[in-house]
Amino acid sequence: MHKDSQQTICVVGLGYIGLPTAAIFASRGMQVIGVDTNPKVLEAIADGSFHYVEPDLDMLVQASVSSGNLKIQASPQKADVFLIAVPTPVSHDHEVDLSCLDSAIVSVAPFLQKGNLIIIESTVPVGTTEKLSALLATLRQDLQFPHKRAQEQQQKFDIHIAFCPERVLPGQMLKELVGNDRVIGGITKACAEIAQSCYAIFVRGQIKLTDARTAEMCKLAENAFRDVNIAFANELSMVAAKHDIRINELIELANCHPRVNILQPGCGVGGHCIAVDPWFLINTAPQESHLMRAARQVNTDKAQWVLSKAMQATEQIRKIRREESQQKNQQPTEQDIQQIQVACLGITYKADVDDLRESPALEIVEQLAKDTNLQISVVEPNIQALPRSLEKKNISLKPLKEALDQSDLVLVLVDHAEFKNHNYKSVGTQALIDTQGIWN
Ligand code: SAJ
């Protein structure tokens, strides 16, 4: 497959991964049909106003749409390649929900023709790609699907199917889409090879071929690896706090060792990938995955730990107020003692993105706001308005300086560039809890 052959690719799911992937194929001269069942997503793309912020993505999408290479519509049509990038979330009890993926597969089934390639980019439990092939075989009995041929590695099937996990980092998607190495897992070797020729259209990194099951587990292993390593940093930060040791200095010193590379502790792990994907492995091998389960627990507990530190700090402020007023023989009202201004810096799931999904910072602010004697100023340079869960009387969105000047307690929850660039000086007796170690 080569761009000169004017292949058509139908990308199903125009979210965080599907949209940039569709746009990049279009920018390389492919005819791209972008499909999303959500009319709001289609409208937003048509308007050039996206449902999320990603550097340079708007320009790339607009250029692809105006060149005619990217067409956006609500349902699939015939194509040479079908690329599926729909969400595969987990429920509150950590069960994986593959209903969007199944629907996407069902929606492309009527349009399949001999010689087509189907690529699955959605993160899935091990074995899913083969199951989808079996599902398609029941829907299109006129076509031969590769799962029956995988053992013999025979070439005699009509549709190629491969699992090609995405690896891009939100905030750096376009750079990483092109530059990152890719792992491609074919149900058969032929499936992997044809998918490789498709990705070679825009990928400049290396493309490594394997079988579908290994590629599925590889994606899960990458995110679980990061979760476990962040959990170590988070656990260390709580142990260091007990010993009154500055965690940032400790990590900097430990990382001087040539074989040590401790990650950054924070207020927990958020986003829709690292906090979610380990469950795809834990659920399917619960007896064998103690470490990954413990890491999930540590990272979840970290947000509660930060919350309890913030609550302790507010109690401390109230205690000091009472003591000071006694010393000065003043009689402030209980209202004066209780009312505390808290500046919460950052509510997104990580630095310099507008994404609030699974955000531990947001969860902390939501919990904190339950104490109605706290007046909370949220500073979040990446959003225009507070999310509905923070639309409460005691919470407002404020610029950094104003929030800092008014606060008794400052809580740094996300290391946004604006905060890192700010020369912080505490105001009066202001207390600081800096989960990112940017100001202490
Ligand atoms: N975090 C820390 N300490 C760190 C690094 C991150 O607390 O040292 C926190 C962040 O604040 C955030 C969370 O972890 O809350 C995840 O952030 P991230 O930047 O590590 O990762 P994501 O979720 O934005 O993207 C990850 C990436 N996976 C890996 O790095 C292994 C990305 O490459 C994947 O494509 C993406 O998941 C995905 O879609 O699976």
Percent of the chain whose predicted confidence (pLDDT) is above 90: 83
- Ranking 38-52, 259-273, 335-349 by mean pLDDT, the lowest is 38-52
pLDDT band at 335 (very low <50, low <70, confident <90, very high): confident
pLDDT of 256 over the 90 cut: yes
Contacts 24+ apart (CB under 8 A), 140-143: 140/109, 140/112, 143/112, 143/114
The residue whose CA is least distant from atom 10 of ligand 1 is 350
Residue tagged active-site, from 267, 273, 302, 344: 273
pLDDT band at 428 (very low <50, low <70, confident <90, very high): confident
Rounded Cα distance, 191 and 181, in Å: 18
What is the reported pLDDT for 53? 75
Atom of ligand 1 nearest to the CA of 277: 40
The residue whose CA is least distant from atom 37 of ligand 1 is 273
pLDDT band at 371 (very low <50, low <70, confident <90, very high): confident
Q: Which of 269, 347, 438 most suits a substitution to test ligand 1, by most atoms within 8 Å of the C-beta? A: 269
Ligand 1, CB cutoff 6 Å, lining residues: 166-170, 222-223, 226, 230, 263-264, 266, 269-271, 273-274, 349-350
Tell me the per-residue pLDDT of 289-325, one tens digit each, with 9 for 90 and over.
Answer: 999 999 999 999 999 999 999 999 999 999 998 888 8
Q: Catalytic annotation on 392? A: no
pLDDT of 3 over the 60 cut: no
pLDDT of 1 over the 70 cut: no
Mean pLDDT for the chain? 93
Rounded Cα distance, 59 and 388, in Å: 30
pLDDT band at 401 (very low <50, low <70, confident <90, very high): very high
Atom of ligand 1 nearest to the CA of 266: 7
The tokens describing 183, both together, are: 């792992």
What is the reported pLDDT for 152? 64
The residue whose CA is least distant from atom 29 of ligand 1 is 223
Between 259 and 322, the more confident residue is: 259
What is the reported pLDDT for 155? 66
Residue tagged active-site, from 10, 219, 267, 350: 219
Tell me the per-residue pLDDT of 378-395, one tens digit each, with 9 for 90 and over.
Answer: 999 999 999 999 998 899
pLDDT of 49 over the 90 cut: no
What is the reported pLDDT for 98? 97
DSSP β-bridge partners for residue 348 = none
Q: How far is the CA of 269 from the centre of ligand 1 (A)?
A: 8
Where on the phi/psi map is residue 363: left (φ > 0), alpha (ψ -120 to 50), or beta? alpha
Atom of ligand 1 nearest to the CA of 268: 7
Q: How far is the CA of 398 from the centre of ligand 1 (A)?
A: 27
Question: Who's near 279: CB < 8 A, 6+ residues apart?
Answer: 90, 94, 96, 296
Q: Kindly state the average pLDDT of the residues 393-409.
A: 96
Tell me the per-residue pLDDT of 184-197, one tens digit each, with 9 for 90 and over.
Answer: 999 999 999 999 99
Tell me the per-residue pLDDT of 10-22, one tens digit each, with 9 for 90 and over.
Answer: 999 999 999 999 9
* Phi, then psi, of 396 in degrees rounded to 5: -140, 155
The residue whose CA is least distant from atom 4 of ligand 1 is 264
Question: Who's near 142: CB < 8 A, 6+ residues apart?
Answer: none
Q: Catalytic annotation on 273? A: yes
pLDDT band at 254 (very low <50, low <70, confident <90, very high): very high
Atom of ligand 1 nearest to the CA of 16: 39
- The DSSP-derived string for 262-280 is -----S---SSSTTTTHHH
What is the reported pLDDT for 367? 96
243: burial class by Cβ within 10 Å (0-12, 13-18, 19+)? exposed
Question: Structure pTM?
Answer: 0.93
Pairing of strands 374-379, 340-345: parallel
